[in-house]
Chains A and B, each alone.
Chain A
């Protein structure tokens, strides 16, 4: 599938990138990182326009994140009355809201690029709490700009070794996300043994 999509980027350019980053921010399994690296390499070889490519990647990603966030907000508002009836659930939601207030900003920023596989779930979780959408959007644009800049930039810099940089970077991204999940669950387990 990846090669078909790569051929489409070569032929149709930025639109394919916009659609791919949009879908990847909704947790759909499309190789957005690999395509952004290719986008950078195609800028280097004068096949794609730099501004068009970067704006398409950024626009698709931010639109995808907002869709997830606002979708979760819409659903949680519908379920609000039902949640309020159960004190245990209401307490859980209040706790989630407090965590979001405290860690939401950096959480959004780093789950856009450093731990990008977690991004779509952060959107849904924050959408379900009362986290403000303007604040979400500001952190989101900052984080996605880092993500797009990093991948398109590395694609540009390593244009001649696209297969290598794609292998290494997509694997590194998986490694970081898995390691972060190991640390988080390990920490919770350790805390549980002490109690």
Chain B
């Protein structure tokens, strides 16, 4: 056994002498593989929780995309945020914050209200949105 370990150690020492760059490349590649594998496990644990999958509205998101990911009609969402029917197709949450002064948190609160009441209370919210 000890003889075998000594032999392996000798081989590694020889490799280090003759193929130093290759060994460094192997060590870097193996470390990166381990890093990505551990990260994959972390992601799997995080995303396994359904609560993490509902995406809160973020400044970069277009209005239509937010409506789609929350499963509410885009026209109803636009109305609930106080936007007219002629709003641009690619309006983002950042644009809406600039136009209406609503923070992303307020927008999320209105989304939740719209989703909770959808489809029945959607009409009421639409009116409420226009009054503001």
Residues of A at the B interface (CB closer than 8 Å) are 3-4, 6-7, 10-11, 13, 41-42, 44-47, 159-164, 167-168, 171-172, 174-175, 178-179, 181-182, 184-186, 188-189, 192-193
Contacts and interface: CB of A to CB of B under 8 A. Distances in A.
Contact of A6 (B25, B32, B60): B60
B19 interface: yes
Given A3-B58, A188-B22, A160 B68 contact: yes
B2 interface: no
B89 to A, nearest CB: 7
A189 B39 CA distance: 27
A172 B15 contact: no
B67 interface: yes
Contacts of A160: 53, 55, 68-69, 71
Given A167-B47, A178-B32, A189-B23, A161 B53 contact: yes
Given A182-B30, A182-B33, A189-B22, A7 B69 contact: no
Contacts of B25: 181, 185
Nearest to B65: A45
A10 B52 CA distance: 23
Nearest to B61: A10
B13 to A, nearest CB: 11
A192 B68 contact: no
- Interface residue tally of chain B, by bracket? 35 or more
B37 interface: yes
B55 A168 contact: no
A185 B22 contact: yes
B60 A185 contact: no
Given A171-B36, A189-B22, A10 B90 contact: yes
Contacts of A163: 55
A7 B90 contact: no
Interface in B1-50: 11, 14-15, 18-19, 22-23, 25-26, 29-30, 32-33, 35-37, 39-40, 43, 47
B26 A189 contact: yes
A182 B3 CA distance: 28
Contact of A42 (B11, B22, B23, B65): B65
B104 interface: no
A193 B11 CA distance: 7
B43 A10 contact: no
